[in-house]
Amino acid sequence: MDKLLIEGGIPLEGRISVSGAKNAALPAMAAALLTEGRVILRNVPRVRDIGTMRSLLDELGADSSVTHEEHGNRVEIEAHKLVTRLAPYELVKQMRASVLVLGPLVARFGEARVSLPGGCAIGARPINLHLKGLEAMGATIEMDHGYVTARAGRLKGASYSFDTITVTGTENLMMAATLAEGETVLENAAKEPEVEDLANLLKKMGASIDGAGTEKILIRGVGALHGAEHSIIPDRIEAGTFLIAAAITAGHLTLDHVEPSRLTAIIAKLSEVGVRVTELPSEAPNEVQRPMLEVQATRGLRAVDIVTQEYPGFATDMQAQYMALMTQAEGSSVITETIFENRFLHALELVRLGAEITVDGRRALVKGKTVLSGAMVQASDLRASASLVLAGLAAEGETLIDRVYHIDRGYECIEEKLSKAGARNRRISEAG
């Protein structure tokens, strides 16, 4: 099991390229099950979760290949003829996003049997809203031995309102509705950029979708979809993490391959804290025109409260990183987590480094500024691991982070990117 050793106290300087969004790439890969044609995805990040989804598609019988490109991977998927409709527990337990194959399998093949994903470190995240939506579209649902089986002839268009906002639920039902008979209206839908990116791919494949990125999505079912080529959007959470990396080290970074319009909540909050983030024009005229971000910070950070919300609010996936930043801000801040019920596991590890944090239910009080000192800590989930990396960059001495396989699930070569910006960090394998 790999560990990450970080020597703190060094301001980050230089340029970092942001990878493609794994939370956009995963549903895009699942969408390839909706067609016999070849789906080509570019700017796919080189992270563990992508490999898990590819293993699941291979298990189902799809053909896939990966080609390394200058920025991200090119992934080709062809689901001409599947050998099974079963998504086994052994794969689903590794990554909850595996449930995204449910909607496409039922829509195209009339049947799917998918392992229930169960809970995870940060909360329960049940899939009941996915299932209720499929039932509204005419599917029959059975659950036994830890699996859910969904069957349908051809799904029927329906109007369905989510009881609570769910990103994967919105994506699952939107994919299923593309091949349903008639119109489907999804209300109280997730508005995240990853949902909109999936819709853009589906439309390239021949789907008829309006309203993706808003709370009401209209899908007009078609008889069949075809192959397409699509470039995955930049990862807004990775970009936000590196913005905070510059802030917490009083550094000066330039981020390229970003979409600033998707980062308004974190940029606005950093501005309140005292961090200057400036949009710069693209320097890559022959590529997709995306601006860059320059971030500069000083040691005089101000404590500012946050409340996590669905997009376009402050993302729950940035909460842990922001908590690390608040340990270095002057004053007290209150962090309120409204999305997941158990997402403060990183707080105890930050306390081991010297932070003053008190957790009360879904609220955490952070008192700063505190001097962090390097220690051995343990990552509990993907974003918690990122917060520990950030704290390690700001701490005095060496910080050793265990269970960094969590960070490998969603951050592409993070130690290499940080090293290019001047950080002193290295990966230590179990063998030494």
**For residues 295 and 252, is the Cβ–Cβ distance under 8 A?**
yes
Q: Which two three-digit tokens encode residue 9?
A: 């106290």
pLDDT at position 1: 80
Predicted local confidence at residue 340, as pLDDT: 84
Residue 310: count other Cβ atoms within 10 Å of its Cβ. Answer: 18
Amino acid 34: pLDDT: 98
Q: Give strand ranges (E) for 235-297.
A: 252-256, 276-280, 292-296
Cis peptide bond prior to 93, omega within 30° of 0: no
Residue 125: what pLDDT?
55
Count of C-beta atoms within a 10 Å radius of residue 342: 15
120 catalytically annotated: yes
The stretches in the chain having pLDDT less than 70 are 118-125, 284-289, 431-432
Closest Cα partner for 350 from 319, 313, 307, 308? 319
51, 77 in Cβ contact below 8 A?
A: no
Q: 152, exposed or middle or buried, with CB in 10 Å at 0-12, 13-18, 19+?
A: buried
Residue 356: its pLDDT value, please? 98
Maximum distance among all Cα pairs of the chain, rounded to whole angstroms: 62
- DSSP letter string, 360-417: ETTEEEEEE----B--EEE--SHHHHHHHHHHHHHSBSEEEEE-THHHHTT-TTHHHH
335 and 306 Cβ atoms separated by less than 8 Å: yes
pLDDT the model gives residue 289: 65
Phi, psi of 74 (to 5 degrees): -105, 120
pLDDT value of residue 288: 58
Q: What b-and-e string marks burial along 225-248, b requiring 16 or more CB atoms within 10 Å of the CB?
A: bebbebbbbbbbbbbbbbbbbbbb
List Cβ neighbours of 273 (8 Å cut-off, separation of 6 or more): 247, 301, 302, 303, 304, 325, 329
Task: Classify 322 as helix, strand or coil.
Answer: helix
Note if the bond before 312 is cis, omega within 30 degrees. Answer: yes
Catalytic residue among 5, 82, 116, 120: 120
- The pLDDT tens digits of the residues spanning 52-77 come to 999 999 999 999 999 999 899 999 99
Compute the radius of gyration of the chain from its Cα atoms. Answer: 22
Q: Which of 3, 2, 11, 43 is nearest to 418 (CA)?
A: 11
